[in-house]
């Protein structure tokens, strides 16, 4: 069974993951309003992935005979001055999520909760990938600068992203 402290921290992480899904959906809406459908697709896929992450925590709490308590979500940001600003915000959020995952690992170690520590290893690795994927787009956007042809090509590239397969 989970300690009360661990259960509360895992429930807070569910909220953070659902908020990330909500924020990425808001980013998708922004890109759709700018007629950047490839960027919008990338954000839709990211939103779905974050929802999957939240459900992993949800299922884990239930598997450990804990109690899931869903919390209200904050309103996401809905406007950006550029695609670069949106992706920079996405990276900041992913870095925040990484810090929270690391704090969960620290708590699991502190509480000698080996099962939760094992469960969290997937998320530690996933956050490395999450940050790298967002940063790759940021680097492309910086290289492109104000070249509309580059933005057009990147938009087409981002349109190719499909849904992630759930990894266990």
Mean pLDDT of all residues belonging to the chain: 96
Separation CA 59–CA 50 (nearest Å):
14
Domain ranges of the chain: 4-70+79-158
1 has pLDDT over 90: no
pLDDT of residue 17: 98
CATH 1.20.1260.10 fits 4-70+79-158, yes or no: yes
This prediction has a pTM of: 0.93
* Distance set, CA 143 to CA 6, 38, 40, 63, 140 (Å): 43, 18, 20, 46, 5
108 has pLDDT over 90: yes
């Amino acid at each position: 069974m989970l300690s009360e402290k661990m259960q509360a921290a895992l429930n807070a992480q569910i909220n953070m993951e659902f908020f990330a899904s909500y924020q990425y959906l808001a980013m998708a809406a922004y890109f759709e309003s700018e007629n950047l459908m490839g960027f919008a697709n990338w954000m839709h896929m990211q939103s779905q992935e974050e929802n999957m992450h939240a459900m992993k925590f949800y299922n884990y709490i239930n598997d450990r005979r804990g109690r899931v308590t869903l919390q209200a979500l904050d309103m996401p940001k809905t406007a950006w001055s550029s695609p670069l600003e949106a992706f920079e915000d996405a990276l900041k959020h992913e870095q925040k999520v990484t810090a929270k995952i690391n704090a969960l690992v620290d708590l699991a170690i502190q509480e000698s909760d080996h099962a939760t520590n094992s469960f969290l290893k997937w998320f530690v690795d996933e956050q490395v990938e999450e940050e790298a994927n967002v940063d790759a787009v940021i680097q492309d956007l910086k290289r492109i600068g104000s070249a509309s042809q580059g933005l057009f090509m990147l938009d087409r590239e981002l349109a190719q992203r499909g849904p992630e397969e759930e990894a266990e």
